[in-house]
Amino acid sequence: MNRYSPWQYFIIAAALVVGLVFTLPNLYGESPAVQVSPHKATLKADEALKARVEDILAKGKIEPQGVFLDASSVKARLADDETQRKAKDLLQAQLGEDYIVALNLLSNSPRWLAAIGAKPMYLGLDLRGGVHFLLQVDLKTAIAKRLEGVVNDVRGNLREKRIPYSGATRDDQRVTVRFRDKAARDKGQEELARTLPDLEFRSVDDAGEFRLVGTLKPEAVNATQKAALDQNITTLRNRVNELGVAEPIIQQQGADRVVVQLPGVQDTARAKDILGRTATLEFRMVEAQATDPRNRDYDPAKVEAAIAGNPPVGTELLYDRDAARNEPLVISRRVVITGERLTNAAPSVDQQTGRPIVSVELDGQGARVMRDLTRESVGRRMAALLVEKGKPEVLTAPVIQGEFAGRFQISGNFTTQSATDLALLLRAGALAAPMEIVEERTVGPLLGAENIRRGFYSMVGGFAAIALFMIAYYGLFGVISIIALSANLLFLVALLSMLQATLTLPGIAAIALTLGMAIDANVLINERIREELRNGNTPQAAIHAGYDRAWNTILDSNVTTLIAGLALLTFGSGPVRGFAVVHCLGILTSMFSAVMVSRAIVNLYYGRQRRLEKVSIGQVWRPAIQKR
Amino acid sequence: MEFFRIKRDIPFMRYALIFNVISVITFLVAVGSLTMRGLHLGVDFTGGTVMELQYQQPPNLDRIRERMVKIGFADPSVQHYGTARDVLIRLPVKEGLTTAKLSEQVMQELRQLDTGIELRRVEFVGPQVGKELLENGALALLFVSLGIVGYLALRFEWKFGVSAIIANLHDVVIILGFFSVFQWEFSLPVLAAVLAVLGYSVNESVVVMDRVRENFRSRRFRDAAVPQVIDNAITATMSRTIITHFCTQLMVCSMLLFGGETLFYFALALTIGICFGIYSSVLVGSPLLMWLGLTRTDLVRPEVERKPGDSGAVV
C-alpha cells in the first residue's frame, strides 16, 4: 500500500532534475564585465560592434575572458574589477557618445545552462548596492498644460469662424469662455463641440454674462495623464541611459508614480541631477546644407565655411546624426517654436505610400506660427533639436513639402521602429509634468555584500540546527524530512531563478523562515505515524495513515499562511513585497516537497518490504496504562 | 527520543478561565502601552531620512549633532550602531528641509569634519509615502483577518474562524505591545513579520481544530463532553506543536544571531509571535471555541453518511 507508481517517481525525479538545473547558475557566481549598448535606435548591437569592442580591447592590451553578443548589447567578461574599470574607460573614450558603456556582472555559469534559459536570480539593490528612487508625477500640472493649449485653440477657432467673444481663460481644471450675447454663445458652443471633441462645454448665465465652461471629458483626462506619465518615463529612460547603468529599472507604480532603480550607482547626487534635468525641444530653420542641390537652402560654400570654423552670423553648425548620415547642417539660432507647443507626436503610416511616418500635432499658437512660416519656406528644411544643458542635438531635419499648420507629418527613410523612436524623442524632449522624488533608498556596495553574507549565514545556521535536531529526534524519518526540506530549498531557488524574481534581504529572510515553517508538515506526518504506531497499528498501516491524515491538516494550515502571504503581496511595497513573493512560492513548493518527495523516499525504502517489523522514527513510547 | 510522555489527556479546559485571565491582563498591558506610549515608528511610516555612515576613525557624535542642528534640525538623533565607527543619523520630516537633496547636504557638512566617510545606506521617505505605507499595512492586517475567518468558516464552521482570529489578533496586539513597551523601532520588515506570524499561528489553531473535528467524528468520543474532546485534541497535537515551533525558532534564532541590524527586529517580532502563538492558539482559541457553544452537530451532520477513514473536508 505504500507504493508509488513508476510515473509518480518519474514526476518527482523530473522535478528534482529541473530544480537542480535551474538552481545551478546561482552557484557559479558572477564576474565583472563591461556592457556596450548603442545609445540610439539607429545603431545596432551586431557582429561589427562585437569585432570593434574586441579590437579596442586588444589594442589596449586588455585580454577579455570572453566577448558575447546578445539582443541589445555586447558584453565583455573581464578578470577583475581593476581591468573592468580600465576597459570601461578605454571603450567609452574610443566608442564615443553613441554607445553606453556600463559596468555589469556576467554569470559564470557554463554556456549550456544559459542556452536553456537557466539564469541566476536577480539580486536586489540591498544585496548588490545601488539607488532606488520613487518619483511622484504631478499630473494636475499635465492637465493644466493641456488646458492652456485648449484656451489657445478656443481663441483660434472662434476667431476663424468670426464668432464674437469677450474672453477665454483657464482657472485650475476648467476653461471659461465669455460671450456678450446668447446667440454668439450658442454658435460658439456648437463650433467648439465640433472642433474640440475632448471637451465638454456647459453654458452658464451669470450677471448678464453668457459663459461656456469647458472641462476635459474623463476619457480625455485619462488619456492626457497616461500620455504625460509615458512621456516622463521615456524621458527618464533617456536620461538614465546617460548614467551608464547596466540594468536600470524604470516602471510605473500606481496611478502617478515612477520607480527608478539603478543598480551599482554610487554617485546619487549626479543621479538626482540627471533625473531632475529639464530638456527642451526646439524647431529651427536650416540655413544651409550641402547634400541635396534640389532644395532651396543648398549652399555648400556656407557649409564649408562653417566647417572651417566660420558659420554665418546667427547660425551654428550641427550634425544630423539621424539615420547615421552624419550630415553637416548650418542651422539658424532663431527658434521657430519650442516643444511646449507640441501636443502630440505619434508613429503612423502614410496613406499613399504605406511607409512609416511620424505625425505631429501642435496647439493653436504653434499652428499659427507654423502656417506663417511654412507659407514662405516650401522647399527649405526645418530641424527638430533636443537641447539639453545648452547643447543642441539634431533629431531630424526634414524638407518642408508644402504649407501646413497644426497637424503635419515628418516622412523620411523611416522603419517602423525608427518612426516610433523619433515620435518618442519628440514627445520626450521635456517632462510632460513636474516630478518630485518622494522616496530614496541607497545601499552601498560593501553593505550589499555584507547583507548577502548575513542572509546566507542565517539560513545555513538555521538549516543545520534543524537538521541536527530532526535526525536526532526522528532517526531515519528525520533524515528523510531533511532531504525533503533540501528539495524544498532547491525547488524554491529554482522557481525564483526561473521567474527571474528579484532577491532581496527580506527575500532571503523569507526563504529561511519558509524552511523553518515548512518542516511543520514533516513534523505533523512523523508525529502522526508515531501516534498510529502507539495505537498498535502495523508499521505499513501507520505510514499510510500518517501521511493520509496529516495531509488535510497540512493543506488547511498552508492555505491560511498563503492568505497572509497574498495580503502582503497585495498591500506590501518595496522590501515587504520581496518577502511576500518568496513566502508565497515557498508555501507552494513546501507542500510538494514535504508530502510527495518525502513519501517517495519512504515508499522506496519501506514500501517494498512486505514484512516490515520496525521503522526508524525515533522512540515510540507506549504508556503502560492507557485511558479508554 | 520522546519528550512527550503524556499518560492521559491534560485537562486544559478546566483551567481555561485562568489562562484567559492571564491573556486579558497581558492584552490590556499591551493596549495600554500602545495608547499611552504608542509605537516607535520607523522612517518607513513617519517619513524622514535615515543615513548609515562608516568612519575610518571613531567620530565625535556631539560634533555631528552640532552640524545637524546647523542644517536646521533641533533634535537630531545621532547614534552608534554596530561598532564605534558606524553612525546612524535619523532626521525627522521637516517642512522645506525634507527632500531627496537633504542627504547630499548632510554629507557635505560632515565631510568638512572628516573626509573619511563612507555612505553605507540612505533611506528617504516622503511624509505622504509614509502615511500610505501605514495605511496599506493596516489594510493588509484587515485583509488577512477577514481572509482567514472566511476560509476557516468555509472549511470548518464560523465559530472556528472567529475564535482563531481572536486568539491570533491577540498575538498581534501583544507583539505590538512589546514593541511599544520597549520602544523598539517598528519598520516595514517588522510589519511583514507580524503578518507572517498571523498566518503562522493560525496554522497552529488549524491543527488543533482539525483534531477537534476528527475527534467529534470518531467513534471513540461519541459520548464524550465537548471539553474532553478538546482536551484530547490539544494533548494529541501538543508534541507536534512544540517541535514545530522549536524548529521554526531555531531558524529565527539563527537570524537573530547572524542577520545583522536589518533582520534583528524582524526576527525579534517572529520570536515573540512564535512564543505567544503556541499559547494563544492552544489556550486562548480553544476555550473560546468552547464558550462560543461548539457542539457535535456543528461538525457532524447526521444525514451525511461517511465512509470509515474518510476525513475529507466539509465544504
The pLDDT tens digits of the residues spanning B45-73 come to 888 888 888 888 888 888 888 888 888 88
**Residue that is written with C-alpha cell 522512540 in the block:** A619
Q: How does pLDDT run across B129-178, given as a tens digit for each residue?
A: 888 888 888 888 888 888 888 888 888 888 888 888 888 888 889 999 99
Per-residue pLDDT, B305: 46
User: What does the buried/exposed string (b/e) look like for B82-105 if buried means 16 or more CB atoms within 10 Å of the residue's CB?
Assistant: eeebbbbbbbbebeeebbbbbbbe
Asked if A583's CB is within 8 angstroms of B200's CB, the reply is: no
Find the closest chain B residue to A442 by CA distance: B122
Per-residue pLDDT, A130: 86
The mean pLDDT of chain A is: 83
Q: Tell me which DSSP letter residue A402 carries.
A: S
Is B304's Cβ below 8 Å from some Cβ in A?
no
- Measured in angstroms, the CA of B5 and the nearest CA of chain A are apart by 7
- Measured in angstroms, the CA of A527 and the nearest CA of chain B are apart by 6
Q: Considering only CA atoms, which of A528, A37, A210, A214 is closest in space to residue B244?
A: A528
Which helix (H) or strand (E) is A387 found in, with range? strand A382-388
Is B274's Cβ below 8 Å from some Cβ in A?
no
The full DSSP string for A267-301 is -HHHHHHHHT--EEEEEEEEEEESS-TTSTTB-HH
User: What does the buried/exposed string (b/e) look like for A452-476 if buried means 16 or more CB atoms within 10 Å of the residue's CB?
Assistant: bebbebbbebbbebbbebbbebbbb
Four-way CATH pick for A279-416: 3.30.1360, 3.30.1600, 1.10.3470, 2.30.30: 3.30.1360
Q: How does pLDDT run across A55-66, given as a tens digit for each residue?
A: 888 888 888 888
pLDDT band at B306 (very low <50, low <70, confident <90, very high): very low
Asked if B240's CB is within 8 angstroms of A523's CB, the reply is: yes
Report chain B residues whose CB lies below 8 A from the CB of A557.
202-204, 206-207
Report chain B residues whose CB lies below 8 A from the CB of A482.
none
- Contact by Cβ (8 Å): B185, B274: no
User: Which numeric CATH code is attached to A140-220?
Assistant: 3.30.1360
Boundaries of every domain in chain A: 6-10+444-607, 30-107, 140-220, 279-416
Report chain A residues whose CB lies below 8 A from the CB of B211.
553
Is B248's Cβ below 8 Å from some Cβ in A?
yes
Q: Please compute the mean of the pLDDT values over residues B179-190 and round it to a whole number.
A: 89
Positions of E strands within A29-188: 30-38, 66-69, 74-77, 99-107, 122-123, 130-137, 167-171, 174-179
- Measured in angstroms, the CA of A143 and the nearest CA of chain B are apart by 22
CA angle A379, A380, A381 (to 5 degrees): 125
Distance CA A502, CA A523 (A): 31
What structural domains and CATH numbers belong to chain B? 12-41+130-299 (1.20.1640.10), 48-125 (3.30.70.3400)
Per-residue pLDDT, A625: 45
Find the closest chain B residue to A531 by CA distance: B236
Report chain B residues whose CB lies below 8 A from the CB of A560.
148, 151-152, 199, 202-203, 206
User: What does the buried/exposed string (b/e) look like for A52-81 if buried means 16 or more CB atoms within 10 Å of the residue's CB?
Assistant: bbeebbeebebebeebbeeeebbbbbbeee
- Contact by Cβ (8 Å): A312, A287: yes
Q: How does pLDDT run across B14-26, given as a tens digit for each residue?
A: 777 888 888 889 8
Per-residue pLDDT, A461: 94
Per-residue pLDDT, A469: 94
Asked if A573's CB is within 8 angstroms of B103's CB, the reply is: no
Per-residue pLDDT, B314: 43
pLDDT band at B290 (very low <50, low <70, confident <90, very high): confident
Per-residue pLDDT, B303: 45
Asked if A576's CB is within 8 angstroms of B188's CB, the reply is: yes
- What percent helix, strand, coil does chain A show, rounded to 5? 50, 25, 25
Per-residue pLDDT, A462: 94
Asked if B252's CB is within 8 angstroms of A563's CB, the reply is: no
Q: Which residues does chain A have with pLDDT short of 50?
A: 625-628
Between A437, A441, A557, which is nearest B206 by CB?
A557
In a 3-state reduction of DSSP, which class is residue A313? Answer: coil
- Contact by Cβ (8 Å): B297, B249: no
- Report CA Rg, chain B: 25
Per-residue pLDDT, A212: 86
Report chain B residues whose CB lies below 8 A from the CB of A463.
251
Q: What is the pTM of this model?
A: 0.74
Q: Is-same-fold flag (A6-10+444-607; A279-416)?
A: no
CA angle A598, A604, A606 (to 5 degrees): 95
Find the closest chain B residue to A526 by CA distance: B240
Asked if B196's CB is within 8 angstroms of A513's CB, the reply is: yes
Distances (CA, A) of A242 to A260, A302, A424: 14, 33, 17
User: Which numeric CATH code is attached to A30-107?
Assistant: 3.30.70.260
Q: Are strands B40-41 and B185-186 parallel, antiparallel or unpaired?
A: parallel
Q: How does pLDDT run across A314-346, given as a tens digit for each residue?
A: 888 888 866 556 788 888 888 888 777 777 778
Per-residue pLDDT, A388: 64
Between A441, A466, A618, which is nearest B122 by CB?
A441
- Measured in angstroms, the CA of B250 and the nearest CA of chain A are apart by 6
Report chain A residues whose CB lies below 8 A from the CB of B89.
none
Q: Considering only CA atoms, which of B291, B294, B205 is closest in space to residue B20?
A: B291
Residue A116 sits at φ, ψ, to 5 deg, of -90, 10
- Can you read off the three cell numbers belonging to residue A238? 533617456
Between A470, A515, A567, which is nearest B143 by CB?
A567
Tell me which residues of chain B, numbers 192 to 231, contact chain A at a CB-CB cutoff of 8 Å: 192, 195-196, 198-200, 202-204, 206-207, 210-211, 214, 220
Per-residue pLDDT, B309: 47
- Contact by Cβ (8 Å): B228, B152: no
- Contact by Cβ (8 Å): B288, B166: yes
Asked if A562's CB is within 8 angstroms of B199's CB, the reply is: yes
Positions of E strands within A164-237: 167-171, 174-179, 199-206, 209-216
Per-residue pLDDT, B187: 86
Report chain B residues whose CB lies below 8 A from the CB of A466.
247, 250-251
Is B7's Cβ below 8 Å from some Cβ in A?
yes
Report chain B residues whose CB lies below 8 A from the CB of A591.
none
Find the closest chain B residue to A257 by CA distance: B129
Distance CA A383, CA B274 (A): 69
ipTM: 0.83
Between A442, A512, A517, which is nearest B255 by CB?
A512
3-state secondary structure chain B: CCCCCCCCCCCHHHHHHHHHHHHHHHHHHHHHHHHHCCCEECHHHHCEEEEEEEECCCCCHHHHHHHHHHHCCCCCEEEECCCCCEEEEEECCCCCCCCCCHHHHHHHHHHHHCCCEEEEEEEEECHHHHHHHHHHHHHHHHHHHHHHHHHHHHHCCHHHHHHHHHHHHHHHHHHHHHHHHCCCEECHHHHHHHHHHHHHHHHHHHHHHHHHHHHHHCHHHCCCCHHHHHHHHHHHHHHHHHHHHHHHHHHHHHHHHHCHHHHHHHHHHHHHHHHHHHHHHHHHHHHHHHHCCCCHHHHCCCCCCCCCCCCCCCC
* Residue B312: pLDDT over 60: no
Find the closest chain B residue to A506 by CA distance: B189
- Please report the number of interchain residue pairs, chain A to chain B, with beta-carbon separation below 8 angstroms: 251
A6-10+444-607: CATH superfamily:
Multidrug efflux transporter AcrB transmembrane domain (1.20.1640.10)
Between A268, A531, A552, which is nearest B313 by CB?
A552
pLDDT greater at residue B254 or residue B90:
B254
Q: Please compute the mean of the pLDDT values over residues B223-245 and round it to a whole number.
A: 86
